[in-house]
Amino acid sequence: MKILAQQGDLAQWEADAIIVTIVEGTKPLTGAALSVDKALKGMISQELQAAHPRFKGKLADTLVLPTYGKLPAAYVILVGLGKPEEIKGQSLRRASAAAIRAAKKLKVKSVATALAELNQKAIKPFDTDTIGRLLAEGAVLGSYQFTLRKGKKAKADNGTGDSSTPLSSLTVVLPSTTEKGKAKEKDTGKGQLAALKKAVRVGQVIAESVNTARDWVNDSANYVTPTFLKEQAEAIPGLTCKVLTQAQIKKLGMGSFALVAQGSEQPAFLIHLSYKPKGKAQKKVALIGKGITFDSGGLSLKPAGSMETMKMDMGGAAAVLATMKAIAELQDLSVQVDCFVPTCENMPSGRSSKPGDIVTAMNGKTIEVNNTDAEGRLILCDAMTYAQKEVNPDEMIDLATLTGACVVALGKAAAGIMGTSDDLIDRVRKAGEAGGEKLWPLPLYDEYKSYLKSDVADLINAGAKGEAGSSAAGMFLKEFVDKNLAWAHLDIAGPAWVSSDSPEIPKGGTGFGVRTLLYYLYQLQE
Ligand code: BES
Ligand code: ZN
Ligand code: ZN
**Pair 328, 456 in one domain:** yes
3-state secondary structure of 369: strand
Give the pLDDT score at 450. Answer: 98
Would strands 357-360 and 366-369 be described as parallel, antiparallel, or unpaired? antiparallel
Read off the pLDDT band of 181 (50, 70, 90). very low
The overall average pLDDT reported for the chain is: 94
- Which amino acid is it at 27? K
In a shared domain, residues 145 and 225: no
Average pLDDT estimate for 308-333: 98
Query: Does residue 407 share a domain with residue 307?
Result: yes
pLDDT score recorded for residue 406: 98
Q: What is the per-residue pLDDT across 136-150, written as a single tens digit (0 to 9) for each?
A: 999 999 999 999 999
Reported as a pLDDT band with limits 50, 70 and 90, residue 196 is very high
Q: How far is the CA of 213 from the centre of ligand 3 (A)?
A: 17
Residues with CB under 5 A from ligand 3 (ion): 292, 295, 313, 376
The residue type found at 153 is K
pLDDT tier at 118 (50, 70, 90 boundaries)? confident
Residue 340: give its domain's CATH number. 3.40.630.10
In this structure, the number of other CB atoms found within 10 A of the CB of residue 51 comes to 4
Residues by chain with Cβ below 5 Å of ion ligand 2: 295, 373, 375
Nearest CA to ligand 1 atom 5: 404
Quote the pTM value.
0.95
Cα 225–chain centre separation? 21
* 306 C-alpha to ligand 1 centroid (Å): 9
Active site residues: 302, 377
Which residue among 156, 176, 196 closes a domain? 176
The reply to whether 465 falls in a domain is yes
Q: Please indicate, yes or no, if residue 202 is contained in any of the structural domains.
A: no
| Residues in CB range of 97: below 8 A, 6 or more apart | 60, 138, 139, 141, 142, 143, 503, 504
Domain hosting 162: range is: 2-176
Q: Which of 159, 176, 193 is the last residue of a domain?
A: 176
Ligand 1 mutation target, pool 403, 465, 512, most atoms within 8 A of CB: 403
Distance CA 17, CA 90 (A): 23
Q: Which residues lie across from 78 on neighbouring strands?
A: 20, 63
| Residue 133 sits in the same domain as residue 275 | no
Residues of the chain with pLDDT > 90, as a percent, come to 89
Give pLDDT, residue 272.
99
Q: For residue 120, what pLDDT is reported?
A: 63
pLDDT at 526 (0 to 100) = 83
Which CATH number characterizes residue 12's domain?
A: 3.40.220.10
Per residue in 410-421, pLDDT (tens digit) is 999 999 999 999
Task: Please tell me the residue having the least CA distance from ligand 1 atom 8.
Answer: 493
Sign of the Cα torsion 204, 210, 213, 215 reads negative
Check whether 408 has a pLDDT greater than 60: yes
Q: What one-letter code names the amino acid at 95?
A: A
Q: Give yes or no: residues 253 and 160 share one domain.
A: no
Q: Which residue, judged by its Cα, is nearest atom 16 of ligand 1?
A: 374
- On whether the CB atoms of residues 401 and 376 are closer than 8 A, the answer is yes
Q: Who wins on pLDDT, 61 or 122?
A: 61
Residue 158 domain flag: yes
For 182, phi and psi rounded to 5 degrees? -85, -15
Q: Please report the pLDDT score of residue 28 as a whole number.
A: 85
117, pLDDT greater than 80: no
Give the Cα separation of 526 and 517 in Å (integer).
15
Number of domains in the chain: 2
| pLDDT tens-digit map of 481-521 | 999 999 999 999 999 999 999 999 999 999 999 999 999 99
Tell me the three state secondary structure of residue 285: strand
CB proximity list for 148: less than 8 A, separation 6 or greater: 154, 155, 156, 158, 159, 215, 218, 219
Indicate whether 69 belongs to any domain. Answer: yes
| Phi, psi at 51, each rounded to 5° | -60, -40
pLDDT score of 158:
37
How far is Cα 15 from Cα 7, in angstroms, rounded to an integer? Answer: 14
Closest CA to 345 of 270, 295, 290: 295
Would you say residue 187 lies in a domain?
Answer: no
Higher confidence at residue 123 or residue 454?
A: 454
pLDDT (tens digit per residue) in 323-356: 999 999 999 999 999 999 999 999 999 999 999 9
| Residues at CB less than 6 angstroms from ligand 1 | 295, 313, 371, 373-376, 401-405, 407, 462, 469, 493
CB 335 within 8 A of CB 426: no
Q: Rounded mean pLDDT of 39-55?
A: 95
